[in-house]
Amino acid sequence: MVTFMSLTEALIQKAKPREKPYKLSDGKGLCLLVNPTGSLWWRFRYRFDGKEKMLALGVYPKVSLKEARKKRDEARDKVKSGVDPSEERREVKRNAIKQNKITFRLTLSYSGDLTIMTPIRTITLNPAQTEALRAFLIAASTEKMENPC
């Protein structure tokens, strides 16, 4: 008999990056992907129509273990009711694009990090990247003013 141990916050905190990505399993298809960069990504593996699929559930610690389990349970319920959670997510994004309701939000932290949030993804730029983007936008707007087409 194989015994299985669910993930705990302590085990997650002890996870160290290796040369290659590896997974820490929590059970029922939920795992934490530990990347060589040290980033920790929640993934839900499931089967739909005979095919193995994977759904991204967020990044630790922004998505806690408790939240990841809740998201996994919601996705499992969808699979049981005949809905592919990956396809459902794609359809929501397609509809948002079609309805032209794509909006974004910018947040600048005190440390200089710029976070760009859209319905599709969230990107965080460090202070050096933020400054490079600022310089690019200023140059692009100046160029456009000089050469209107």
Per-residue pLDDT tens over the stretch 83-132: 999 999 999 888 877 776 667 889 998 888 999 988 778 899 999 999 99
Q: Is the pTM for the entire model greater than 0.75?
A: no
What is the average per-residue pLDDT within 35-61?
95
* Cβ neighbours, 10 Å, residue 55: 20
Q: For the chain, what percent of residues have pLDDT higher than 70?
A: 91
pLDDT at 1 over 60: no
Is the predicted pLDDT of residue 16 greater than 90, yes or no? yes
Distance CA 128, CA 137 (A): 14
Assigned architecture for domain 9-83: 2-Layer Sandwich (3.30)
Rounded CA-CA distance 117/62 in Å is 14
Listed by start position, the domains of the chain span 9-83, 105-146
Task: Give one DSSP letter per residue of 54-75, joined into a string.
Answer: EEEEEEETTS-HHHHHHHHHHH
* Beta-ladder partners of 82: none
Model confidence band, residue 3 (pLDDT cutoffs 50, 70, 90): low
112 vs 18, more confident: 18
pLDDT value at 23 more than 80: yes
